[in-house]
A and B are shown apart, each in its own frame.
Chain A
Amino acid sequence: MTALALPTSVDAMLELLTSRGYLAERSLATVTYLSLRMGRPLFLEGEAGVGKTEIAKVLSAALGRKLIRLQCYEGLDVASAVYEWNSAAQMIAIRLAEAAGDTDRAQLSSDIFAKRFLIERPLLQALEPDVAGPPVLLIDELDRADEAFEAYLLEILSDFQVTIPEFGTIKAPHPPIVIITSNRTREIHDALKRRCLYHWVDYPSAERELAIVKSRVPGISAKLSQQVVRFVQALRDQDFYKSPGVAETLDWATALTELDARSLTPQVVGDTLGALLKYQDDIARMQGDTLQKVLKEATSEN
């Protein structure tokens, strides 16, 4: 049985996330709640820095579960995602058996492919039973892995079991809580999305973002936090190549408090714009009149 009970309603889910400092939109809380109730993986897609990865961390902390993270990259294969045999240890075992004069081949091969020679990678770890309840498995930036890995994942996500030819099948007694994130650097196949609950994580509204800044950046003045959020919201309305995410807002707010800024001035914004915009084209556009205009909107008292 699990150590901490799962939330029993959407409101309880919101409550749980808020208590850990994650101020989620109700829609996100709803799909998260549903994915826990239905035991389906949660597939989160959205721009970088809107809090997709964060929700897995918060969820594992709030439910007292272990967080197992699999960061995807091109060329991710079974050996680095699921399991690998510890060849060096196996070679030593073979040498020892030889030195001891064991010649029973069948015995030797069953000894060599025992569980102690198995190096468990994140996906296999997530199938192991845990006293605190099934872990939270975060498969981060799945779009970076290739289609072959996606196809392999299909099998794991439907049966929660892994078959190792030399060893046998390992099946999870209770399926883990699975959260998959994608930044859309390529489209994920429909077959995988069909098995998950899909949610597009959008930029937060101004009020929510203000609340997030206040809860995450301690010691920021009310005036500055309001100006920061207004400024960022205005930037998102502009047609930038890469709009700043919530993570950038928090970085920038932290940077401004470090610099002891009381309010936004052209000087301080110009110096710290690199915390918000990460493309030279975008930074170049935010000079002169545009900057003045946005700044004026953000700092107007109303």
Chain B
Amino acid sequence: MAINHLSPPTGQMADNVVGFARALRAAGIPVGPGAVIDAMNALQAIEIGNRGDVFTTLEAIFVKRHEHALIFAQAFDLFFRAAEEWKHMLDSVPLPDHARKKPPPASRRVQEALAQPQMSETPQAQEQELRLSVSDKEVLQKKDFAQMSAAEIAQVTRAIAQMKLPQAELRTRRYQPDARGLRLDMRRTLRGSLRTGGDIIDIHRLGRIDKPAPIVALLDISGSMSEYTRLFLHFLHAITDARKRVSVFLFGTRLTNVTRALRARDPDEALASCSSTVEDWAGGTRIGTSLHTFNKLWGRRVLGQGAIVLLISDGLEREADAKLAFEMDRLHRSCRRLIWLNPLLRFGGFEAKAQGIRMMLPHVDEFRPVHNLSSIEGLIAALSSAPPPHHRSLIRSAA
């Protein structure tokens, strides 16, 4: 199929495709300029009158991951709503939501993205906006999650979604070709030498492969943590990648494994399916019992291969007793590194007064604050670095 690249489409259709691509970008689908050009070329090659064909064509170009398909479909519906105007490719205004049925989780995002102002301002205005957003960002970095407005939370959520978890590398026992490796790769050496009739010319070597360590997150969803829960879920969703080994458990009065619910999906949808599996949102906390359940049913299954455990909880436990200390100790001894993230640490004069916290502290390798964006970034840095030597001496003992 020959497509004339020399005469790019102009006018209404080009504007529409560009606008649509921008809307997709705002809704979180990565769409580069190359894809926009592809889309314009492709639209010239098909019957524009057929809405289904146009949908398929654009989807094939813009959607590169399955979890984006849902957002794309909604954005397409909103953007090219009126079928009779479709032939003229007129810009259509998103209709108000009639709320005949509950909108699917991602639709709010798409609506917001489409409602964003067109970028037709003067350069000066843009610059101002940019400056503003930088200072905004600084404020956001330091602001406690618990005091944010809905809009700010949305901003933070986006920032979290863009965080990339660097590779906390673990040396595996598997080998790959490596010029500076320590082991001889006799097989490749021999095959190479045969090309010269048996004179060995270069030695091929093998070195160990490094692989990211598995992560197991235990997230407290009791009432006292409710302001943070959603954001932490967003954070966990951001680091849960099909290629990385991340398991996520939620606990309040009981323990729920939500690893599969969080995997490879749109964040809104993942959170919605988490909500449907968990029965005890924002209830009480029974850390000891939940840890016991985890140790008994899941510990051996997910803590192998040198896992790092993130325990996200404020440690406010009413039934703190020796059992809690025992289960913490067991958890600590069965993983490679136990990091406790506690939003209460944001208070400068935080003293571990609560009984539960005192029980748990001796059994963690690291005790970190996690209540704003900078602390999450700090956590990511900590995860990617080598574990520090056991520095429990640095943790202020509460006794």
Contact A98 B175, CB 8 Å, known A85-B187, A87-B186, A112-B190: no
Q: Does A241 sit at the interface, judged by CB under 8 A? A: yes
Q: Is B174 in contact with A146, judged by CB distance below 8 angstroms? A: yes
Chain A residues with Cβ under 8 A from B174's Cβ?
75, 77, 146, 148
> Which stretch from A12-20, A89-97, A129-137, A195-203 is at the chain B interface?
A89-97
> With A and B bound together, what is the CA distance between A108 and B191 in angstroms?
11
**B187 interface neighbour in A75, A87, A146, A183, Cβ under 8 Å:** A87
> Which stretch from A184-192, A213-221, A267-275 is at the chain B interface?
A184-192
> With A and B bound together, what is the CA distance between A124 and B175 in angstroms?
21
Most buried by B among A108, A166, A185: A185
Q: Is B304 in contact with A186, judged by CB distance below 8 angstroms? A: yes
Contact A74 B198, CB 8 Å, known A87-B186, A185-B300: no
Q: Does A115 sit at the interface, judged by CB under 8 A? A: no
Chain A residues with Cβ under 8 A from B193's Cβ?
94
Q: State how many angstroms separate the Cβ of A203 from the closest Cβ of chain B.
A: 15
Chain A residues with Cβ under 8 A from B304's Cβ?
143, 185-186
Contact A74 B305, CB 8 Å, known A87-B186, A146-B172, A241-B296: yes
Q: Is B190 in contact with A85, judged by CB distance below 8 angstroms? A: yes
> With A and B bound together, what is the CA distance between A97 and B198 in angstroms?
9
Chain A residues with Cβ under 8 A from B396's Cβ?
none
How many residues does chain B have at the interface if contact means C-beta atoms less than 8 Å apart? 23
Q: Is B301 in contact with A185, judged by CB distance below 8 angstroms? A: yes
Q: Does B389 sit at the interface, judged by CB under 8 A? A: no
Contact A87 B190, CB 8 Å, known A185-B300, A186-B302: yes
Contact A90 B302, CB 8 Å, known A75-B172, A98-B198: no
Chain B residues with Cβ under 8 A from A85's Cβ?
186-187, 190
Q: Is B190 in contact with A91, judged by CB distance below 8 angstroms? A: yes
Chain A interface bracket (under 10, 10 to 19, 20 to 34, 35 or more): 20 to 34
Mark out the residues of chain A between 234 and 290 whose CB falls within 8 Å of any chain B CB in the assembled complex: 239, 241, 281
Q: Is A105 in contact with B187, judged by CB distance below 8 angstroms? A: no
> With A and B bound together, what is the CA distance between A103 and B198 in angstroms?
9
Q: Which residue of B lies closest to A143 (CB)?
A: B304
Q: Which residue of B lies closest to A48 (CB)?
A: B300
> With A and B bound together, what is the CA distance between A178 and B330 in angstroms?
36
Q: Which residue of B lies closest to A85 (CB)?
A: B187
Q: Does A109 sit at the interface, judged by CB under 8 A? A: yes
Mark out the residues of chain B between 196 and 230 whose CB falls within 8 Å of any chain A CB in the assembled complex: 197-198
Q: State how many angstroms separate the Cβ of A155 from the closest Cβ of chain B.
A: 17
Q: Is A103 in contact with B190, judged by CB distance below 8 angstroms? A: no
Q: Which residue of B lies closest to A91 (CB)?
A: B190
Q: Does B173 sit at the interface, judged by CB under 8 A? A: yes
Contact A187 B194, CB 8 Å, known A74-B172, A241-B296: no
Q: Which residue of B lies closest to A187 (CB)?
A: B301
Chain B residues with Cβ under 8 A from A77's Cβ?
174-175
**B198 interface neighbour in A84, A94, A166, A239, Cβ under 8 Å:** A94
Q: Which residue of B lies closest to A147 (CB)?
A: B245
Those 9 A-B pairs whose CB atoms lie nearest each other, nearest first: A75-B173, A87-B186, A94-B198, A185-B304, A109-B194, A186-B304, A105-B197, A184-B301, A74-B173
Binding site for B on A (CB under 8 A): 74-75, 77, 84-85, 87, 90-91, 94-95, 97-98, 103, 105, 108-109, 112, 143, 146, 148, 166, 183-187, 239, 241, 281
Q: Write 25 A-B pairs (CB below 8 A) sorted by A numbering.
A: A75-B172, A75-B174, A85-B186, A85-B187, A85-B190, A91-B190, A97-B198, A105-B197, A108-B194, A108-B197, A112-B194, A143-B304, A146-B172, A166-B191, A184-B300, A184-B301, A185-B301, A186-B302, A186-B304, A186-B305, A187-B301, A239-B296, A241-B295, A241-B330, A281-B326
Excluding A148-B174, A185-B301, 6 further A-B contacts by CB distance (< 8 Å) are A74-B173, A77-B175, A105-B194, A108-B198, A241-B295, A241-B296
